[in-house]
Amino acid sequence: MIETMLTEHLDLLTTTHTTRSASGRGSGNKLELTGIKKLRELILELAVRGKLVAQNPEDEPASELLERIEAEKARLVKEKLVKKPKKLPKITEEEQPFNLLPKQWEWVRLNDLGEWGAGATPRRGNSELYGGGIPWFKSGELSSDYISESEETVTELALKQSSLRYNNIGDVLVAMYGATIGKTAILNVRATTNQAVCACTPFTGFINTYLLILLKAFKGRLIGMGAGGAQPNISREKIIATVIALPPEAEQHRIVAKVDELMALCDQLEQEETDSIAAHQTLVDAMLTTLTDSKDVSELAENWSLVAEHFDTLFTTEASITRLRQTILQLAVMGRLVPQNPGDEPAAKLLECIAAEKAQLVKDGKIKKQKPSLAITQAEQLFPLPEGWTWCRIDHLALHSEAGWSPKCNDTPRTDDHWGVLKVSAVTWGEYRPGQNKQLPDHLDPRAEYEVQPNDFLISRANTADLVARSVVVPETAPEHLMMSDKIIRFVFSCEVSSHYINLYNNCRFARDYYASVAGGTSSSMKNVSRQQIQSLVIPIPSLAEQQRIQIRVNELMSLCDTLQQQLQQAQITQQQLAFALVEQTLTPHHQTMSPQPH
């Protein structure tokens, strides 16, 4: 039995997830419950194939229902209430969407079952056509099973002066254009639509809630019909020519009731799984917070032991591994990841050496004298520092900084060894991506002073809220002839500090919180920070030797996280393949074993 098969494998379906995430370490991610989504699709597909409820031999067969519908159509045409429908070709075997039609069902075209019509858009320049009392729906508004309130309305004059179809309460709508193809809804009010929506008034015996289920089940097919072209769309003609299997009217009602029952169960399963995921993430956050809140090395060791004991149950999702990465960075810059060496030179001495180096460069005319940095306040010192560490601003560590150049470039990446200008995306994903560039036009001379060099510290000054001020260190193997754009800033640091350590801090939560507080811009899709704001970032600095030890340890732990993430992704792929295979198996003909039972 199909029900038994699904019940036995319900855990597999409900716990199958797909992670949608941006690239790069520390980026956000979101789980999609693909198993439950697939379960919903399966329920709909089983419904329209006659596999969801048992057939009842006492039902009036669909053939007789079609005779009644034909009689109704003839009457409506005679009374001039509807136009005589266009006669469509006989249904071929190739058009039938599946084999083994259930007993008492019939193959029909949607044209046979209702009156279909698309909407229209009244002239936008005529204000007398809009703002009346008649709802006017666009395809993007088909967001729930039943709709009654539209963003815009039209007037009675619009009905008279345009080809608007005035749809009835209970009519079924389906979107036909672009990304909205296949979206559906039932009208709770009399209403009109634009030309991107087709409406159906079902004939008596073809119930609208069953048509809604049918269109939902056929969404993938409808999208397939509109494939191709810059703006995919389907037409009314394609919709009405679609072949479907028509069940008896009584079975339509049973199918709708069963689908409603099973969809409610899916809602419950989805909520339970969402709550479980949220609870798991809360536990992960709480456990990892104990590490960063540890008061001393002894307490940290104790708390880490507790995390390690439950490692297998804590780090089982992409989000939990992302949180682990963030915690590693936090512990690193707090001086909790590697032991301090009392023999290291204190960081205060390091800052003195850098100040002397900058003074000499100013004296030699190689850099300009910099304005004094603001004193670091107590509020900016985010946590206690280990002995030998000190707080400073990035400006204290940098010898100089500069933005790049943004000429009008070709829209394509450079070829061969041509000069190119880096896009912001080259420096915002946790690794240097030289392929993210645009070729410099032949009529412009390159500016060699902006060419990116190995070991450069590059940071973006404009991007989304999550990506603005992300940074990278350019590797030794970086290709030549690539220039910074004016949205990328290069900092040149003294050899007394590691640019890799500064990059590590710049991408940790403490720095991200700082940039979030100072970034300008009116929307989250485009934020910006100034060079002065970047220079003012307060950073905890240890000795150069400890910076290097920290970087080595972070690289080791991040590699372990990479391995853990790869194993998780492979497990997710395997689980998804099993879940989808179960669905396909459920739809194969040899599982159609429901025996007819009278209800």
Residue spans per domain, the chain: 60-247, 269-334+556-575, 347-542
Segment-wise mean pLDDT, segments of 10 residues, the chain, 599 residues:
57 61 44 75 90 92 94 90 85 90 94 94 93 94 94 95 94 93 95 96 96 94 80 89 95 95 87 84 87 81 84 83 90 89 91 91 87 89 92 92 92 92 92 94 93 93 91 93 94 91 93 93 84 94 94 92 85 71 62 38
Cα–Cα distance measured from residue 515 to residue 510, given in angstroms and rounded to the nearest whole number:
9
Pairing of strands 457-460, 488-493: antiparallel
- From 512, 536, 505, select the one nearest 333 (Cα to Cα): 505
Q: Which residues, in sequence order, are CB contacts of 532 under 8 Å at separation 6+?
A: none
Helix (H), strand (E) at residue 285: helix 249-292
With respect to CATH, is domain 347-542 assigned 3.90.220.20? yes
The reported pLDDT for the residue numbered 299 is 83
Cα–Cα distance measured from residue 362 to residue 188, given in angstroms and rounded to the nearest whole number:
76
- From 152, 167, 234, 150, select the one nearest 196 (Cα to Cα): 234
Helix (H), strand (E) at residue 68: helix 62-78
The reported pLDDT for the residue numbered 592 is 41
The reported pLDDT for the residue numbered 314 is 84
Cα–Cα distance measured from residue 221 to residue 227, given in angstroms and rounded to the nearest whole number:
10
The reported pLDDT for the residue numbered 255 is 95
φ, ψ of residue 379 to 5 degrees: the values are -65, -25
Identical topology for domains 60-247 and 347-542: yes
Q: Which residues, in sequence order, are CB contacts of 167 under 8 Å at separation 6+?
A: 173, 187, 190, 191, 192, 193, 199, 201
Question: How many residues does this entry show for the chain?
Answer: 599
Cα–Cα distance measured from residue 143 to residue 185, given in angstroms and rounded to the nearest whole number:
7
Q: Which residues, in sequence order, are CB contacts of 539 under 8 Å at separation 6+?
A: 333, 391, 392, 393, 394, 397, 502, 505, 511
- From 207, 249, 253, select the one nearest 59 (Cα to Cα): 249
- If phi > 0 it is left, if psi is from -120 to 50 it is alpha, else beta; for residue 450 that is alpha
The reported pLDDT for the residue numbered 319 is 86
Q: Contact at 8 Å (CB) between 373 and 399?
A: no
The reported pLDDT for the residue numbered 41 is 87
**Strand order through the sheet with 482-483:** 437-439, 420-422, 482-483
Radius of gyration of the chain from Cα atoms? 33
CATH superfamily ID and name for 60-247: DNA methylase specificity domains (3.90.220.20)
SS (H, E, C) 352-415: HHHHHHHHHHHHCCCCCCCCCCCCCCCCCCCCCCCCCCEEEEHHHHEEEEEECCCCCCCCCCCC
pTM: 0.67
- From 143, 152, 153, select the one nearest 182 (Cα to Cα): 143
Cα–Cα distance measured from residue 464 to residue 451, given in angstroms and rounded to the nearest whole number:
25
Q: What are the helix (H) ranges across 83-168?
A: 156-161
Q: Contact at 8 Å (CB) between 394 and 491?
A: yes
> Residue 246 pairs with which residues in a beta bridge?
106
**Strand segments (E) across 188-278:** 192-193, 197-202, 243-246
The reported pLDDT for the residue numbered 543 is 94
Residue 545, CB half-sphere, CA atoms under 13 Å: how many? 10
The reported pLDDT for the residue numbered 280 is 81
